[in-house]
Structure 1
């Protein structure tokens, strides 16, 4: 990213900053429960695999809902879709705080996932449409919101969860209500698109070789990603503050790698090579977690944020650029497949760690990274269009001769 484009990221309309703030809070919801997973298990008399269903229900509904987000937003407009998503998150996050059983909490997290899908999928399109500096800068801004939200979520969860495990849910509902007010007042009403998106369009978009390759590689990547996020709190043996500190460090690495590392490496290596590199590093770090003692686990978990941050930015850009489908359609199809990995990993990984061996989830996560690399290599001819996109970015970022 050039200095010029870097400056444009900070000069944005207030509507973009309002949407970005709400996106930070939305992504906080992913890591919010991490520090309090052991506390939730204790408070609701549930086992680790039962509590892991908080992630599974959330991401399963998010994945399926991705198929309808474009259909909804193309009929009621982007602003109304954002507000609908935020309203659902406020309601279900607050209800989650009132749960009397793990089953109720799982159900309310599913409703939360529906609202999050409507908001997150539309927020990217709104930021891309309203931000100055072009799509590349807008995606980096979006990924910065993702990284900041993921890093702040564990801290907020730890601070509130140390008082009571219900408090983080009420805190999220309150912050999302603030985001609702900001978007309602600062974002101008967006017109409904002239061409309506059909329900089957995201699945049809996956027929494109480049988009399906990106999506299924991201499926395996997300499985590895959420293995770390969902199971690690149970083996750290730390207080909510300790778990929150570990995942804050992890989230900070995600944010820095997303915003600064990914653009620099893309210019130097190209998108596909960056994906191979980051998947390989993530696999090695997962093996490190599997073979380490407590101190090693902490170090390797924090460092895993670096390849995860690289992957998040490059995968998002690849999904938006690799096919000729409209961006909302391509994003919906890609995210449907991608979040399925996030839905399956928490329960499978936690069950393996609970019933077989604590190291096994990370071995499986490393194998998933290698599987993603195999998909990417075996279908590399479908990714050639990204080489042209990378070349165009490099040309635009090159210094102009005097």
Structure 2
């Protein structure tokens, strides 16, 4: 008697709808670091100071954080396809408008609109991939995480290549690629069922009453100050061409993607979640302190930027998993509350870093970023008791909400 074993389809054997969403996801995640290489050229050609140019990050992250509160409300009423298409349409319009701008104020405003579209898209893309993928939820999540990593790493590189031609190039490039993604999704993604469970706008605020979630949110807010300082201010003391800056931050994004997927789980299993989070934050704070000490030495800045990707990748993965089990609320609600706190609070960093660099000296922004990250360690340590259960939790394999939160956190 022979036993027939059903062979699972290859990970790459997916419907066209899956590849359409994955492609759009890569482009959406590129937007995080796309403008890094063109910050200095924009400042030079539009006569803007570093603090003014850094507002491109502040407006983008501020609106993204606030919009995370409404993404659940929108998608639970209109469904994933309409939400995805709305997000893409908003990104197309505002990225094209940013490329057509003639003043720094216009670009900052249009980047804010871009943040709204990005929030609608990235908070919904995973559920769309899971709904269309073959081979189970776990395989769909692998594809989604791959898109996330490729996008984060490729964003600065694409920005550098197009930015070496003109600072307008990255904005128009994103608009064109997103237009292609919009058409793919419109044609290939099935409409799906209309959701029956509606999320309330007040749910994330209620979730912050739980001390564990609030502790993790404040921790993220503080270390995000250091993170956004590194991302938005470092191109100015580096003082290199767009292509060089893009290649450096490509190394940062690659290190972040690899460490978040491969290194973080291994360290977590061996040493515990909170211990590794505090170690990663300590190493990131030391990294920023080294950048403060050697701001005038470009080689040190380059090495520290890439190393920061390792520390941030480990911490982002573990802190987001902690968010999911820090409060007895739905994971999507916990994700929205956490993202709101960390992005809205941390969004001030790019502007303040530029102001400190202009009014005092180029070393101070990194010192302040290092100090905020050190304080984050203390905040996290203060919540050890309420977070002691995190290593007793066995995450459900293939959890959609958990993977969505990881994406939002990254």
What TM-score comes out, normalization by structure 2 length?
A: 0.88
Question: What is the match of residue 367 of structure 2?
Answer: 363
Worse overlay, 117-126 or 383-392 = 383-392
Deviations 1:192-243 (A, max 9, x none): 3322111111111222222222222111121111110000000001111111
Conservation of the 8 A alpha-carbon contact between 1:143 and 1:313: no
- Does the CA contact (< 8 Å) of 1:74 and 1:195 recur in 2? yes
2:328 corresponds in structure 1 to 324
Aligned length: 387
Structural mapping, 1:1-400, within 5 Å: 14-127=16-129, 141-292=143-294, 293-390=297-394
- Judge conservation of contact 1:147–1:258 (CA < 8 Å) in 2: no
Quick check: 1:139–1:317 contact (8 Å CA) kept in 2?
no
Q: Which moved more, 1:116-125 or 1:243-252?
A: 116-125
Moved more, 172-181 or 120-129: 120-129
Residue deviations 1:150-186 (CA, integer Å, cap 9, x gap): 2211111111111111111000011112222233233
Contact map agreement 2:78 2:195 (CA 8 A) in 1: no
Residue pair 1:284, 1:366 contacting (<8 A) in 2 also:
yes
Tell me how far apart the structure 2 counterparts of residues 288 and 28 of structure 1 sit (CA, whole Å). 28
Look up the SS of the partner of 1:30 in the other structure.
Answer: coil
Residues 136-159 of structure 1, C-alpha deviations (whole Å, 9 max, x = no match): 776665444333212211111111
Determine the C-alpha separation between the residues in 1 that align with 2:363 and 2:83: 42
Distance in 1 (CA, whole Å) between partners of 2:19 and 2:79 is: 19
Structure 1, 140-149 or 165-174: larger mean CA deviation = 140-149
Give the 3 Å change call, closer, same or farther, for CA 229–178 of structure 1 in structure 2.
Answer: same
**How many angstroms apart in 1 are the aligned matches of 2:207 and 2:259?**
29
Task: State the 1:125 CA deviation.
Answer: 4.3
CA offset digits 1:281-300 (Å, max 9, x no partner): 11111111111222111111
Per-residue Cα deviation, 1:52-93 (whole angstroms, up to 9, x for no partner): 111111111111111111111111011211111111001100
Distance 1:246 1:121 in 2: 28
Name the CA distance, whole Å, in 2 between partners of 1:291 and 1:93: 36
Following superposition, the deviation at residue 11 of structure 1 comes to 6.6
Query: Structure 1 residues 276, 125: closer, same or farther in 2, change over 3 A?
Result: farther
- In 2 relative to 1, CA 365–143 (structure 1 residues): closer, same or farther, beyond 3 Å? farther
Give the superposition deviation at 1:356: 0.9
Task: Give the TM-score normalised by structure 1.
Answer: 0.90
CA distance in 2, matches of 1:27, 1:303: 20
Alpha-carbon RMSD across the aligned residues, in angstroms, is: 2.3
Which structure dedicates a bigger proportion of its chain to helix? 1
Conservation of the 8 A alpha-carbon contact between 1:147 and 1:309: no
**Structure 1 regions of 5+ residues with no counterpart?**
1-6, 394-402
Structure 1 residues 188 and 391, CA, compared in 2 at 3 Å: closer, same or farther?
closer
Show the counterpart of 1:3.
none
Q: Which structure 2 segments of 5+ residues have no match?
A: 1-8, 398-410
CA-CA distance at 1:337 after TM superposition: 0.7
